[in-house]
Chain A
Amino acid sequence: MIRKSWWKLLSFILLVYTCSYGFLVKVPSPPGVPLKQTIRNLFFHVPMWIAMMVCFTVSVVYAIKYLRKQDKVSEVYSTEFARTGTFLGIMGLLTGMIWAQFQWGKAWSGDAKQNGTAIALLMYFAYFVLKGSLNDEEKQARIGAVYNIFAFFMLFPTIWILPRLTESLHPGGMGSEGNPGLNPKDTTNDMRTVMYPAFLGWTLLSVWITTLRIRVQLIQQKKLDNE
């Protein structure tokens, strides 16, 4: 049997709900707003970023924990959460590019937020390059953890602060409403009944996948220690 956890079941229920009712819920289509049906991407594209931020936050917490206690388990947690976070970021970027192709006419229009997230993701790529380039395990863990903290505190300026300072195609830029993730005018209460379950469901699924990776890593380490 699998390790039973209520949240695994919850993520399943929430995502089935999201992926069925998300297509059927009435979406507003006010004149002058060209989003039309694509606003349903709110249930799929935006949760990628929410889940990414959760993963990176958990990752940095475990990085700090590692630096305080020097335990290997925290190191595994930190690395694997960063890995899932990076994957979700890539998925968010790709889905965003598909959306942009049909909404803004170009997959990449150098929008403040597109550039910002690309920079943030490159910093996390550098995290894995840095870790991979060090042979000594302890050094790898320690320098990786320190870099992780640095990357985390660069992530939020690039995705939340910088896009607000310039004009952006995303919501929340200079002169447009909302925050860099959402425009409250584009969402209705009906949509929120899908949006929040979607955020939670996708986040829980990514946590589930991460725990699988962590468990594999821990089994491998145990094997190495026994040899």
Chain B
Amino acid sequence: MNKLTRIISVMLLTITTIAAQAQTAVAEPEDFMHSNGKIYVVVAVVVTILLGLFFYVYSLDRKISKMEK
């Protein structure tokens, strides 16, 4: 089972890499996320990481609180 998940994830990664390379010369849409040198994409990534980090710390805190009881 574990091996299967690993294989699938590797395959998915490969596909996304190929797909990413295939995307060339597409006209840039002019929406919010593409404005300002696409800095908002970075903001979105960083905020996602931060939310994940805080969720992780929060769940650890909850687990430890349970252990203390």
> Which residues of A approach B to under 8 Å, CB–CB?
1-3, 8, 12, 15-16, 19-20, 23-24, 205, 208-209, 212, 215-216, 219
Contacts and interface: CB of A to CB of B under 8 A. Distances in A.
Contacts of A24: 39, 43
Contacts, number: 42
A16 B64 contact: no
A8 B61 CA distance: 11
Interface in B34-51: 39, 42-43, 46-47, 50-51
A23 B65 contact: no
Given A209-B57, A219-B67, A219-B68, A23 B62 contact: no
Nearest to A205: B57
Contact of B64 (A20, A23, A216): A216
30 contacts: A1-B62, A1-B65, A3-B65, A12-B54, A15-B50, A15-B54, A16-B47, A16-B50, A16-B51, A19-B43, A19-B46, A19-B47, A20-B43, A20-B47, A23-B39, A23-B42, A23-B43, A23-B46, A24-B39, A208-B57, A208-B61, A209-B57, A212-B57, A212-B60, A212-B61, A212-B64, A215-B64, A215-B68, A219-B67, A219-B68
Interface in B5-26: none
Interface residues of B, number: 17
**Could you say which of B42, B57, B61 has the most chain A C-beta atoms within 10 Å of its C-beta?**
B61
Contacts of A23: 39, 42-43, 46
Contacts of A16: 47, 50-51
Give chain B's interface secondary structure class. helix
A8 B58 CA distance: 9
A212 B60 CA distance: 8
A219 B46 CA distance: 34
Contacts of A1: 62, 65
A88 to B, nearest CB: 14
A162 to B, nearest CB: 34
A12 B51 CA distance: 9
B65 A19 contact: no
Contacts of B65: 1-3
Contacts of A215: 64, 68
